[in-house]
Structure 1
Amino acid sequence: MISGDGTGKSMFLEIHKLIKIMIAERELKFVDTLFYPSEVWLDAIKHLNFVFDLSEESLDYIRMHTGFITGVAWFQHAHQPYRQWNSERLKNELPLIQRYEELTNGLPEKYAIEEPCNKSAINNLGVRYNNKLISNDVLRYQRCITNLYNSNVFEHLENEISHPVTVEIGAGYGGVAHQIASAILNKGTYIIVDLPEILFWSINFIRINNPDKKLWIYDAESFDLDEFKRSYKNYDYIFIPNYMSEILKVLESVDLYVNLLSFQEMSQQQVAFYLDLIQRNLNGVFYSENFSKHWMNTELTSKLHHLYEKCFVMHPRPEQYSSIECSNDPQELKTVWNLFPFIMCLNGQQNTVFKQVPLHTPYGIIG
């Protein structure tokens, strides 16, 4: 367990140690199993492991390196003259800000998100607008927040659930985890399941931007399942390596499952495993935003919405995306990277958790 102010050499070394132990445990026990990284991710983590060599001081700037995960470089806006404009009216002419205004129109202020900014250099990531730092990644996370708010999911979590439990499978650097956990009145427990190498990113991003939160990180040397079952609600953030994801079966219920740009990069068997896991304890909604099928991923043989349909009541219905269906043909560049947001509840479960309203997508409102 890690808690407190999230700083100090001992914490820096402890996180390194725990992640290295996770990687060693995986290589010893889980090679050639369901829990070994897909080919897509085996290739990716080779280019992401440089982060282990960063100093403690450099890790404070981890957000400047996350473009290697998201594909959005930190310098996209850094040297643009509009960053120095003093007029909010002029900034409102920027496509970045126009899209942000569309996504936040009518939202309570606390749901209009921004980049957490622990260092002045982070300002290079985007544009200051109405005292908020807006970046391209913020737009993607704002879409998720807006869809969950408009669908009444947050109202349910805040007013009906005393201690919401959220599980995100494949959280990347932890960007949307920080935003969702902050949005629902800073209460509840947010659990991240990911490859150990990527957990290193999200642990550091979360601890840097949430220094007062209690963090629990899986430790192979001391883990006790019964103790975890008794105490998991005592923590704000929990970090579990993917090969230990079966311990989620002990959770009484999960109010919100989240998967953004992750299932699309797994094998067919891995996606099936997680969908089975979700069905075991989902007592709320599952929010997914993925490509229909990543064209480089040969280990995923079905389009994701075909797998979802077997388990969940989906909104929007997949056919409502038919005019922009991803063909999975890399020659058709206009459609190959289309993203498809869905809000879902279990088949046979009476939907009292979310309202079926049109969802914001990267190409307009659908549903």
Structure 2
Amino acid sequence: MNIFYQELLNELESQSTLYQPSVFWREASKLMIEELSEKGVAHFRNLPSALNFFVPTYGYPGNALPEETMHSLKKFVESQGLSLKQQNYLNAFLSGYSAALADYRVLCASEHANNKSPDLLKFSESEIGSPIEHFDIEGKQYSRSSLNYLLGLSFLKKYTDLEEIGSILEIGGGFGTLGEIVYQTMPNTSYINIDIPPTIFCSEYYLKNIVMQENFSEYSQLKDNDEIFIDQLKKITVLPSWKIEALRGKIDLFVNFISFQEMEPEIVKNYLDNIDRLKAKWILLRNMREGKQLRSQHRFGVDKPIFSEDYEHMLPNYQLVTKNVIPFGFKTADGFHSEIMLFKSKEV
């Protein structure tokens, strides 16, 4: 891990607990720092800690099947003397391709029905970070992360013109997928990702390798700024969590996908207060309706889960426009609901 990243970790220690890793992320962060220090960031999309916490997959480990079970199932398929068609069918299920294709079909149906710019079907994901799971569908590359965001944006297109979205702010942007989608498909939109170290190391690496240098705002050049003006930032910006307080201006769209559920309520409330301060016109969330598992029952969990109705209480200046699980979100095999919620400012 380079000197700048180490300095960022040191800087994190002096910040308010509102900007430090939540109880869920404390242990996860330790594992990630160890792996990134040992193996570097160039292949982060196949590191075990990344796959378990912020690089989602359709197949292993995202399907929750143990690695030994996956290996046994594949061996079983190979040993049955099945036809090529039968083998391909089963392998598509085990690999996660069938699930990815199902999401892609929803995206296609939604985009053809919308028939509005930008054309999200033009997107194809890069191989930066050496992903272990990348599906080629109709000549383009997709991961679970990219399809999650593409579905979310296509869902949003039903309610507003994305051509009018000039700025997007995301908190907890994983390895930067939404930034890549914006860069490829939304030429008039800027993107800011706010995240904690060490996840921010991966998103900065990923996005810097996608965009040209003149389109990327370096945190090292913004570090000492008490005020950071949104309209003066470049196309893509990655900032540590505590720098949200320095942002000045307005944003058109705020996004959080599958990370508020991993934070304690007071942390989420503080972030949303800042989003309100920045006068976001739209808020697009995707999180577990029933809340995250408790730390008292799992190694990785929260002390107090956040439920869907909590977001409504935390956003008094916004009205809930709609929410959706199927087809744009996801219902898990054990009955939990990964729910998309769309809020609109009452001032718009």
**8 Å contact from structure 1 (residues 268, 299) kept in 2:** no
User: Quick check: 1:137 aligned with 2:138?
Assistant: no
Give the superposition deviation at 1:18: 2.5
Residue 52 of structure 1 corresponds to 37
Q: Name the amino acid aligned to 2:135.
A: V
- Secondary structure of the 1:286 match is strand
Give the superposition deviation at 1:118: 4.1
Distance change >3 Å, CA 54–CA 114, structure 1 → 2 = farther
Higher relative contact order (CA 8 A, sep 6+): 1
Residue 203 of structure 2 corresponds to 202
- Secondary structure of the 1:70 match is coil
Give the superposition deviation at 1:206: 0.8
Q: Name the amino acid aligned to 1:72.
A: T
- Secondary structure of the 1:21 match is helix
Distance change >3 Å, CA 36–CA 283, structure 1 → 2 = closer
**8 Å contact from structure 1 (residues 115, 135) kept in 2:** no
User: Quick check: 1:99 aligned with 2:107?
Assistant: no
TM-score w.r.t. the length of structure 2 is 0.73
Report the number of matched residues: 298
Distance change >3 Å, CA 20–CA 233, structure 1 → 2 = same
Give the superposition deviation at 1:113: 5.5
Taking the aligned partners of 2:272 and 2:209, their CA distance within structure 1 comes to 31
* Aligned match for 2:162, one of 149, 154, 160: 154
Distance change >3 Å, CA 285–CA 201, structure 1 → 2 = same
Distance change >3 Å, CA 280–CA 42, structure 1 → 2 = same
Residue 320 of structure 2 corresponds to 314
* CA deviations over 1:226-260 (Å, ceiling 9, x no partner): 5x33x862412222111232112x2x211110101
Q: Name the amino acid aligned to 2:246.
A: I
Residue 57 of structure 2 corresponds to 72
* CA deviations over 1:5-46 (Å, ceiling 9, x no partner): xxxxxxxx8xx333221210121x226x32222110101112
Taking the aligned partners of 1:131 and 1:266, their CA distance within structure 2 comes to 37
Residue 112 of structure 1 corresponds to 121
User: Quick check: 1:63 aligned with 2:45?
Assistant: yes
Residue 40 of structure 1 corresponds to 24
Residue 6 of structure 1 corresponds to none
Q: Name the amino acid aligned to 1:18.
A: F
**8 Å contact from structure 1 (residues 285, 344) kept in 2:** yes
Distance change >3 Å, CA 335–CA 54, structure 1 → 2 = same
Q: Name the amino acid aligned to 1:99.
A: D
Aligned structure 1 segments of 4 or more residues deviating by more than 6 angstroms: 73-77, 79-82
TM-score w.r.t. the length of structure 1 is 0.70
User: Quick check: 1:21 aligned with 2:7?
Assistant: yes
Identity of aligned residues (%): 17
**8 Å contact from structure 2 (residues 182, 189) kept in 1:** no
Give the superposition deviation at 1:265: 1.0
Residue 193 of structure 1 corresponds to 194
Residue 334 of structure 2 corresponds to 334
Residue 71 of structure 2 corresponds to none
Give the superposition deviation at 1:195: 0.5
- Structure 2 gap ranges (5+): 64-73, 78-83, 89-96, 295-300
Alignment of 1:198-347 (within 5 A): 198-212=199-213, 214-219=215-220, 223-226=224-227, 228-229=228-229, 233-248=232-247, 250=248, 252-292=249-289, 293-296=291-294, 297-309=301-313, 310-311=315-316, 312-316=318-322, 334-336=334-336, 338-346=337-345
Q: Name the amino acid aligned to 1:217.
A: E
Taking the aligned partners of 1:130 and 1:170, their CA distance within structure 2 comes to 30
Residue 184 of structure 2 corresponds to 182
Give the superposition deviation at 1:344: 0.7
- Secondary structure of the 1:282 match is coil
Q: Name the amino acid aligned to 1:19.
A: Y
* CA deviations over 1:150-182 (Å, ceiling 9, x no partner): 32341322xxxxxx2211011111112211343
Taking the aligned partners of 1:119 and 1:181, their CA distance within structure 2 comes to 15
Residue 365 of structure 1 corresponds to none
Distance change >3 Å, CA 273–CA 220, structure 1 → 2 = farther
Taking the aligned partners of 1:334 and 1:119, their CA distance within structure 2 comes to 33
Q: Name the amino acid aligned to 1:54.
A: K
Q: CA RMSD in A?
A: 3.5
Distance change >3 Å, CA 141–CA 17, structure 1 → 2 = same
Q: Name the amino acid aligned to 1:46.
A: K
